[in-house]
Chain A
Amino acid sequence: MSWLLRHVQSLLSSAGHLARAPIATLFTVVVMGMALALPLGLDVLVRNVRNATGDFSGAIGISVYLKTNVPESRAQQLLKNTRERNGVRSATLITATAALAQFRKQSGFGAALDALEDNPLPHVLAITPAAGSSDPAAIENLRRYLQSWPEVETVQLDGDWVARFNAILALLRRLLLLAAGLLGLGVVAVVGNTIRLEIQNRRAEIEVTKLVGGTNAFVRRPFLYTGALYGLLGGLCAFVVVAVALWLLAPFAQRLAQTYGSSFALQGPALRDLGILLGAGTLLGWVGAWLAAGRHLARIEPGT
């Protein structure tokens, strides 16, 4: 009980020290907040991009271009074969005639196309694989199978860019982890330096405390609490920074989404993020204080 009481006393005393120097405390907290806000901001960004693109990431398609000399009847036969194959959700045939008609309508090259003697376009099988984009190996299998037909000119994966996009997102996530690690080190250094200064400022107090029989653990305790409090406040600051930034960006993101006809809305940081930030901040602050206190407190002895 008295053990708990002493810790509560240390905590309150540390909080009091921070409150008595509000400007200095604010600066430290803001610096830490910025450092912690960057990885959170990146994370929220990546999550939003994922959300926005989630709709069509499954829409991978395979276009099978047949050789131009393949007659339409053979193409119909191939379509039937394709539909019977495992791993194919749906398949349609775009005949050369239909393709030309559509191209004529959309491109505006009608007169130029009339000058052609033959239809230069091949028949195309448009296939949606059952696996979606989630199973690249299954899609690759299907592609190889289709490629092996003698009537087939080329097989093209329409979803290549989705895979690339997902790879970019994965890269961003990795970058984010790296940034979080480095900025975490930064937070430790900032707290460590602040605690070092604090130890110097309170040198007389530390000497007297040791003189009257205070143990190293007793002397260290308020500094550890100070570091942890800096971290906690820094985490809170980071959360507020990211939340406000997203709130400012939200209308612009919405406008952009509307031009794509999407109902996408920017998601702010979640409550879970707040928990993680506060936890990580507190831990990093504690570690920074522990490192600084370990280095500097041992050197202060009364009367020397």
Chain B
Amino acid sequence: MITFSAVAKRYRNGREALGNVSLHIPPGEMVFLTGRSGAGKSTVLKLIALLERPTRGQVLVGGENTGKLAARRIPAFRRKVGVVFQDHRLLADRPVFDNVALPLIVAGSALKEIDKRVRAALDQVGLLGSERQLPAELSVGEQQRVGIARAIVSRPPVLIADEPTGNLDPQLASEVMGLFRRLNEVGVTILVATHDLHLVRESGLREIVIENGRVAGDEGSLVLPIIEARR
């Protein structure tokens, strides 16, 4: 589902965020991305969501080569990748319903469909009944869950999350993780960037370690030999 082949990313200010990253995440897998701040985790996620294009190498997401996608096709591409942020990036002046509905509205879904799907997504994150509340009226954990509901409302095949538990206490964090596991069980490919090594170990899932813009470790992966062979 997600394949990086010898990817390098240098930002316009000259900083090299990724040196040479190759990795492969098959459809339906849930993977953690760990490493220190500034190691390049966020850049990996930005390349997947096509917020950035690779300087060298190839990024394939759902069969699309992000480096070569025409600008006018970017919106359609982004609808297939759900993104969860640490700061959730909700629109403060819109109620929960409108926030969650945004991906469906931009895709031009029918009103009935929007209503149904938003409720389903809110139900999945346990916030059914909060539709008319403003984000500021919710707790931090609830806000994060609204962000997740927005990311999954259009049922994208790929979900990426940047430090989704960074602002949450351990109990809320483990709740959010449980939510991701459930989504993964229904077939969503998930990549979670996190500092929370405890959470990663506890899950027993595959962990890709990024250090200084390179893959420094890939544990629990069945496809590791393939990547080694590609190098």
A215 to B74, CA, bound (A): 8
Given known contacts A208-B91, A212-B79, A213-B75, A218 and B106 CB-to-CB distance under 8 angstroms: yes
A205 to B106, CA, bound (A): 12
A209 and B106 contact, CB distance less than 8 A: yes
Given known contacts A214-B75, A303-B46, A209 and B111 CB-to-CB distance under 8 angstroms: no
A21 to B107, CA, bound (A): 29
CB distance from A208 to the nearest CB of B (A): 6
Please tell me which one of the listed residues B46, B52, B77, B91 contacts residue A205 in the complex, with CB atoms under 8 A apart. Answer: B91
A213 and B106 contact, CB distance less than 8 A: yes
Please tell me which one of the listed residues B49, B72, B154 contacts residue A303 in the complex, with CB atoms under 8 A apart. Answer: B49
A19 at the interface (CB under 8 A from B): no
Residue of A nearest to B12 (CB): A304
B110 at the interface (CB under 8 A from A): yes
Interface string of A1-35 (1 = CB under 8 A from B): 01101100100000000000000000000000000
Given known contacts A209-B102, A211-B49, A212-B106, A204 and B78 CB-to-CB distance under 8 angstroms: no
A302 at the interface (CB under 8 A from B): yes
Residue of B nearest to A6 (CB): B108
A173 at the interface (CB under 8 A from B): no
CB distance from A211 to the nearest CB of B (A): 6
Interface residues on A, range: 20 to 34
CB distance from B82 to the nearest CB of A (A): 8
Q: Which residues of B contact A204 (CB under 8 A)?
A: 89, 91
**CB proximity to A under 8 Å, residues B145-184:** 150, 154
Interface string of A269-304 (1 = CB under 8 A from B): 000000000000000000000000000000001111
**CB proximity to B under 8 Å, residues A241-294:** none
Q: Which residues of B contact A215 (CB under 8 A)?
A: 72, 75, 106
**Given A2-B110, A3-B108, A211-B78, 18 additional A-B pairs, CB 8 A:** A2-B108, A9-B105, A207-B89, A208-B91, A210-B75, A211-B49, A211-B51, A211-B89, A212-B83, A212-B102, A213-B154, A214-B75, A218-B75, A218-B106, A301-B51, A303-B49, A303-B51, A304-B52
* 10 tightest A-B CB contacts, nearest first: A303-B51, A213-B79, A214-B106, A212-B103, A213-B78, A215-B75, A213-B75, A205-B91, A218-B106, A303-B46
List 14 A-B residue pairs with CB atoms under 8 Å apart, sorted by A's residue number.
A2-B108, A3-B108, A9-B105, A204-B89, A211-B49, A211-B89, A212-B154, A213-B77, A213-B78, A213-B103, A214-B75, A215-B106, A218-B106, A304-B51
